[in-house]
Amino acid sequence: MKRSGAPVFWLLFGAGGMLSALLGPALVFITGIAVPLGWVVPSGVMGYPRMRALAQHPVGKSLLFAVIALFAWHAAHRIFHSLHDLGFHKSMLAKLACYGGALALTLVTAAALLLVGF
């Protein structure tokens, strides 16, 4: 019997779903609303030296990678299955577009995190 890749996709979906439920609202609020409008958080919170240090720190690097990659895999899995409800039935093309997109974003994130240095 051919082994199914489904458990792997399901695991990434579950991990990304949990992480986005835990951190998603606060992250969107900080990076997309509070910092641009200068609310709540002190200015310079997302300044270059600070964010560079965050991306170079092993903990910060792991967190950034986990957030972006798992959000992408979670969304890809869910969008892939929702396409069915919109009348696009399961096809290799749909699968490649969804999971391929998540894979591409994961690789771009990994490359950027390596380029930032340690």
Partner 1 sequence: MSRDGVARRPYLRTMDSWWRRNPYFVRYMAREATAVAVAVYALVLAAGLVCLAQGEAAWNAWLAALRTLPAVALHVVLLVAMLVHAQSWFAIMPKTLPMIAFGGRRLPATAITRAGWAATLAASGALLAAAGWWRP
Residue found by looking up tokens 């903990």 in the block: 59
Smallest separation, CB 15 to partner 1 (Å)? 12
Smallest separation, CB 7 to partner 1 (Å)? 14
CA distance 117 to 56: 6
Smallest separation, CB 4 to partner 1 (Å)? 19
Q: What are phi and psi of 59, to 5 degrees?
A: -70, -45
Residues near partner 1 (CB under 8 A):
14, 16-18, 20-37, 40-42, 45-46, 48-55, 57, 64, 67-68, 71-72, 74-76, 78-79, 82, 85-87, 101, 105, 108-109, 111-113, 115-116
Alpha helices in the chain (DSSP H): 6-28, 35-37, 48-56, 58-85, 92-116
